[in-house]
Amino acid sequence: MSRELVVIALGGNAIKQASEIGTTEEQMKNVDTAAEQIAKISMAGYKILITHGNGPQAGALLIQQEEGSSLVPPQTLTVVGAMTQGQVGWMFQNRLAYHLKKMGKDAPICSVITQVEVSSDDPDFQDPTKPVGPFYTEADAKNHAAEKGWIVKEVKPGVEKSWRRVVPSPEPLSIVEERAINSLLVERVIVIAAGGGGIPVEKGKDGSWVGVDAVIDKDRAGFKLSQAVKADKFMILTDVENVYVDFNKPNQKALQEITLNEAQSYLDDGQFFKGSMGPKVEACMRFVKWSGREAIITSLDKALDALQGKTGTRIKK
C-alpha cells in the first residue's frame, strides 16, 4: 500500500456546479461524491491533504452581505473567505468521516483555518481575475456591473451563462499555518487546509497579520501547500474528466498526458482561460517543475482512477 502524500485540490465550481442554484443539499451531495472517492484513496494507503475552492460560495455570501446591509453590517471579503473555510471544511469532515467509517476506517480528520500571505502590491488588484458567485448571461452580468459596480468577465465561453463577477486574486507567498499542518500530518490526520485559497493576509506595521480583501486562487495555494508539506503528488479535481484544447468547439480534444513544454505551448496559444482552466494547468506545471513528479487534473468522481493512471490529464516533465 502506498504511503505517498497526495494534495487534493477541489474546485468550488465542482462543489456547487454551474447548473445548480447552490442549496446546502446540492453542495453536500457533490461533497459526498468527492468524499467517497477521497475515502477510497485513503483506504489505498495514501496520506491526504485536501484544499478546496470557494468562488461560488464566496460570491453567494457577498451577495448576502450586500442585500442584507440595511439590516446588519456587511462583512468584508476577508471574513467571507474565513466563513467559507468553515462551511466547506465542515461538509468534507462530515461526509469523509461517514465514508471512511462505512469502509471500516476510523481516521482523524481536521479542518485548519488557514491564513496565506499575499502582497497588496500584486498586479491582480488592478486587473481582477478571480471569478466568484453565480454564472450570468452577458446581458445580466453587464447590468449587475452597471448597477452594483461589479467587475465582470467572460470565463466559460461557448455556453449561455458564461460571465461571472471577478475579484482580486493575488499570488500566494507562504502558508502561515505551515507548522501546524505538518504536525497534524505527522500524526496521520487527514487535513483540510487553505480552503478557498486561504484567508489573504499581509504583515501590518506592528508585525501582525492583517486581512486583505481578495480571494486567492485555490490551485496556486494548493501548490504552495504541496511545497510546504513536501507532497509526493498533486491532483486538482474539477467538473470535467480531462483538460481539453478547443474546449466547447466541434474539434475539442481531451488531453491524456502532456509534457511541461506542451502545456506551456497550449497556455501561450490561449487554450486555457484565466478564470477557469488556466490557473489549474499553471499550478500543476509549477508542481512538476518543483518536484519532478506528475500532476493530475480530473473530475470529482474519477479521483482514484486518475491517481492510478486510468483517466484524467497528467502533466509530466
12 is catalytic: yes
DSSP secondary structure, the chain, as one string:
----EEEEEE-HHHHS-TTS---HHHHHHHHHHHHHHHHHHHHTT-EEEEEE--HHHHHHHHHHHHHTTTTSPPPPHHHHHHHHHHHHHHHHHHHHHHHHHHTT----EEEE--EEE--TT-GGGTS--EEEEEEE-HHHHHHHHHHH---EEE-STTSSS-EEEEE--PPP-EETTHHHHHHHHHTT-EEEESGGG-EEEEE-TTSSEEE-S----HHHHHHHHHHHHT-SEEEEEESSSSEEESTTSTT-EEE-EEEHHHHHHHHHTT-S-TTTHHHHHHHHHHHHHHHSS-EEEEEGGGHHHHHTTSSSEEEE-
Cβ–Cβ < 8 Å for 59, 77: no
54 is catalytic: no
The amino acid at 81: G
Cell of 170: 493575488
Inter-CA distances, 152 with 47, 126, 139, 157, Å: 39, 14, 11, 14
Cβ–Cβ < 8 Å for 206, 199: no
153 is catalytic: no
Query: Which of the residues 16, 47, 130, 156 is marked catalytic?
Result: 130
Query: Which of the residues 13, 30, 54, 242 is marked catalytic?
Result: 13
Measuring CA to CA, which residue among 312, 158, 154, 153 is closest to residue 243?
312
Query: Which of the residues 47, 218, 224, 233 is marked catalytic?
Result: 218
Catalytic residues: 12-13, 130, 218, 280
